[in-house]
Amino acid sequence: MKVSRIAATAAVAGATVLALSGPAFAHVTVSAEGTAAKGGYATVNFKVPNERDNASTTKLEVSFPTDHPLASVMPQPIDGWTVKVTKSKLAKPLELHGEKISEAVSKVTWTATGKGVEPGYFQKFPLSMGQLPEDTDELVFKALQTYSNKEVVRWIEVEKDGAEEPDNPAPVLALSAATGSHHGASSTAEESAAASAAPAEQAAAKTTTTAAEPADSSDTTARVLGVVGIVVGVAGVAFGVLAGRRRTTV
């Protein structure tokens, strides 16, 4: 009986390790290249890992915050993808470089023209954006990840202070303190170009994927932990079976 309990415990432990390792590489996240300073401009990357073994990620839709609208968003071309920048009218116009802005970006959508992000890989989707707000410490973006099998994963849950991370957290961009020049990580030339870019050019911009990059070390670690969990569980079950046979023989 004691041996059987040990075997059962080992099997459960292995399954638990596997279950916990899954979400480690599943999140869609956003981070800045360098600094995302309040009041400035920044280049950010939306990182999209493929969390499925039998389907590719073929579409990414990122909704922009309405409480802190951004007037200028420019995508970087990525091989194998097209991109569409959608703008909406603002209830209250913004002032940017001394001019009144009556519309802001509400959504950016990337669509694969080829295989997309295949299993075991991730893709970064870069954007230059601004002018970043000065009255908040973070920007929350909500993202929809679509797979080749038509499955849609909704990364839209906002984490609350003191609570555990939700199953499908929305990407959050942390903002640093404002700099004296308000240029953030971008140069003056980039800021001017971003502010003057025509909406039609933004909407028509094409983006594409660098051949999908291999998953990072955290992904590999999670998978290794999962395999170890399975091995431990199987070993435990086998040990229990052999012990039972020995008792029977005796």
Q: What angle do CA 156, 159, 165 make, to 5 degrees?
A: 100
- Give the three-state DSSP class for 231: helix
Neighbours of 40 (CB within 10 A): 22
**pLDDT tens over the chain, length 250 residues:** 454 554 444 444 444 444 443 444 578 999 999 999 999 999 999 999 999 999 999 999 999 998 899 989 999 999 999 999 999 998 888 777 677 888 999 999 999 999 999 999 999 999 999 999 999 999 999 999 999 999 999 999 998 888 888 999 999 999 999 876 554 444 443 444 444 444 444 444 444 444 444 545 444 455 545 555 555 455 554 555 445 555 544 4
Rounded Cα distance, 173 and 150, in Å: 28
